[in-house]
Structure 1
Amino acid sequence: MKVDDIARHDAKPAPTSVVRLVVTDMDGTLLTPEKQLTRATVEMIGRLTAADVPVCLVSSRAVPGIVRYHDVLKLTTPYAAMNGAIVRDGSGRTLSSLVLPKDAVKATLDMCSVHEVDAWLFSGVDWIVRDATAGYVPQEQKALGVAPKQVADFGPWEDKVGKITCSSADYDLLARLEGETGQMLEGQASVALSAQYYLDVTPLDANKGYALREIGRLMGVEPHEIACLGDMPNDVPMLDIGGLSIAMGNASDEVASHAHFVTDTNENDGWVKAIEKWVLPRIPPQAD
């Protein structure tokens, strides 16, 4: 870690001694690189449920990309999509939905055009693209389990956008644009990488810190009693807030510096190892 990263990590308050809720990122964290749930992960979620510690999903994914896993895991807990732009209860009822200012949408789309970066819009459960065959669209379609809407003009959607994803195989360009776009949209939007090839622009309050607080409120659990796990810059707001924050072994040093602990990678069941080592020992004993 760099000196600043070490200082940031050392300045974090001590981790909580009690965990009553687990809030987790999905891609790069709960899921393998192949977007799968391992048997060990499913079994560990069962152990947490049996111990009366709910698990909630928080992701940059759109709603359909979360629901398919929420259903497989038989979860009945709230979840947050698009970095918190949409929060739903366990039955799928939308509790809150945030949208970007139209000016921020136009500015982001202009930026993508200038740098030849592919832009996608997400509005409610809709995913809107200009070319359904370009770039990372096929990969995302497989991950989400739904096809995008291909349109010639983004204009009709610009006042109802919950998230813009800027996608490119030029990782260095997106890393640079993360800072430049964040500065350009300061006070208007949240900007963070959710993968090396995805830069997300969401409403100002739509970040995973907001999502963690909102889910905690819905579950009746204070942030200091929530364990959270993540791997990317868009996970930092919740890693900063959670009472027990754990970064994946595949996280960068900068992201890891915001966490109390670092576990193994998502290729090696790092999520399960983290729960076993740091969460289970902090679960209060159940009353007889």
Structure 2
Amino acid sequence: MSDAAIHPVRFVLSDMDGTLLRPDHTPTQRTLDTVRALRAAGVLFSLASGRPPKAMLQMIEAFGIDVPVAGFNGGTLVNPDGTVLVAHYLPAEAALVTLALFSGVPDVEVWVFADGEWLRRDPSGPMVAVEAAGLGYGPRVVESFEPYLDRVDKIVAASRNAPLLVELEAQLQPKVQGLAQVSRSQPIYLDVTAMKANKGEALKTLAAHLGVPLEQTAVIGDGGNDPAMFQVAGLSIAMGQAEESVKRQANVVTGSNLEDGAAEAIERFILAAQSGRKVKPAVL
């Protein structure tokens, strides 16, 4: 990890759900104020989420973000005005393999995101309400996913049976190796995206676009899709409620999203260094 005194952080890329946001999908006032203080200190700030870009617009406005953000785990990078900077689609072959595995599995709802839409075929299940609350809009029912296979942004297996999603992740990985990324953005969501649709690639692209060396970047996250950016950032921070496998891949661990962990980390490891006080994070 780079010493903050030698490589001061110039760009912070943060996950949203489980990191900046509480379980009710809202940020605390402390988190909002801390991000504003970060930006006032001249540090660039952006978001990387498994969400579709249009489901990020409210938080883009709330945090006053004026640089590109990464949706679909990094599959689509968009400017603050919604125009697309970069888009990576899931190969049709990988989409077919994924849908064949997920379809018909008990306790799993299968969703496809394409053309800016959230699509489903099956009757509305309990997970739809959970996702709709987070995204701010509901799915569109389609007879078939086939017409969208050449432009799929993400396929999701959603279930409250978290161990089942772990099993599905292990089964799918070898089937789409080299074609797709498979990761659990949250314990209840298994995401499948294009190979370059990961937060590590998103960080590289955004940092280059902003003219910031990777050693001067910091990232914060809590899910299985966040270590991809942990591995390339100058400073990586895991949330306190993250799974142990995620925490082990970060430089430091902060409090949970119920404890303003993201704000705490920004204050302690980034703003303190910006103000001239040397703070050396405890390496795990």
Q: What TM-score do the two structures reach when normalised by structure 2?
A: 0.92
CA distance, structure 2, for counterparts of residue 25 and residue 129 of structure 1: 25
Question: Identity over the aligned pairs, expressed in percent?
Answer: 36
Q: In structure 2, what residue type is equivalent to 1:40?
A: R
Is residue 15–residue 260 contact of structure 1 (8 Å, CA) maintained in 2? Answer: no
CA distance, structure 2, for counterparts of residue 115 and residue 234 of structure 1: 23
Structure 1: gaps (5+ residues): 1-12
Aligned to 1:160: 151
Deviations 1:37-64, CA, capped at 9 Å, x for gaps: 1000110111011101121000001112
1:22 to 2:12 alignment: yes
**Partner SS state of residue 181, structure 2:** strand
Structure 2: gaps (5+ residues): 277-284
CA distance, structure 2, for counterparts of residue 16 and residue 74 of structure 1: 25
Pick from 44, 50, 57 the counterpart of residue 40 of structure 2.
50
Pick from 184, 187, 200 the counterpart of residue 196 of structure 1.
187
CA distance, structure 2, for counterparts of residue 251 and residue 147 of structure 1: 27
Is residue 64–residue 145 contact of structure 1 (8 Å, CA) maintained in 2? Answer: no
Aligned to 1:10: none
Is residue 227–residue 246 contact of structure 2 (8 Å, CA) maintained in 1? Answer: yes
Is residue 64–residue 146 contact of structure 1 (8 Å, CA) maintained in 2? Answer: no
Q: CA shift at 1:152, angstroms?
A: 1.6
Q: Write the mapping of 1:3-152 to structure 2, written as runs, cut at 5 A.
A: 13-17=1-5, 18-116=8-106, 117-131=108-122, 133-152=124-143
Q: CA shift at 1:248, angstroms?
A: 0.3
Normalized per residue, the structure richer in helix is 1
Q: CA shift at 1:149, angstroms?
A: 1.2
**Partner SS state of residue 176, structure 1:** helix
Q: CA shift at 1:271, angstroms?
A: 0.6
RMSD over aligned CA atoms reads 1.4
Q: What TM-score do the two structures reach when normalised by structure 1?
A: 0.91
**Partner SS state of residue 193, structure 1:** strand
Q: CA shift at 1:27, angstroms?
A: 0.6
Is residue 2–residue 215 contact of structure 2 (8 Å, CA) maintained in 1? Answer: no
CA distance, structure 1, for counterparts of residue 15 and residue 111 of structure 2: 21
Is residue 132–residue 148 contact of structure 1 (8 Å, CA) maintained in 2? Answer: no
Q: CA shift at 1:238, angstroms?
A: 0.3
Q: In structure 2, what residue type is equivalent to 1:228?
A: V
CA distance, structure 2, for counterparts of residue 15 and residue 123 of structure 1: 41
CA distance, structure 1, for counterparts of residue 117 and residue 273 of structure 2: 39
Is residue 113–residue 119 contact of structure 2 (8 Å, CA) maintained in 1? Answer: yes
Aligned to 2:243: 252
The count of aligned residue pairs is: 273
Shift in alpha-carbon separation, 1:73–1:111, aligned structure 2, 3 A: same
Deviations 1:226-261, CA, capped at 9 Å, x for gaps: 110001110010011110100000011110111111
Aligned to 1:225: 216
Q: CA shift at 1:145, angstroms?
A: 1.0
Aligned to 2:271: 280
Deviations 1:147-174, CA, capped at 9 Å, x for gaps: 2111121111111101101111211010
Aligned to 1:8: none
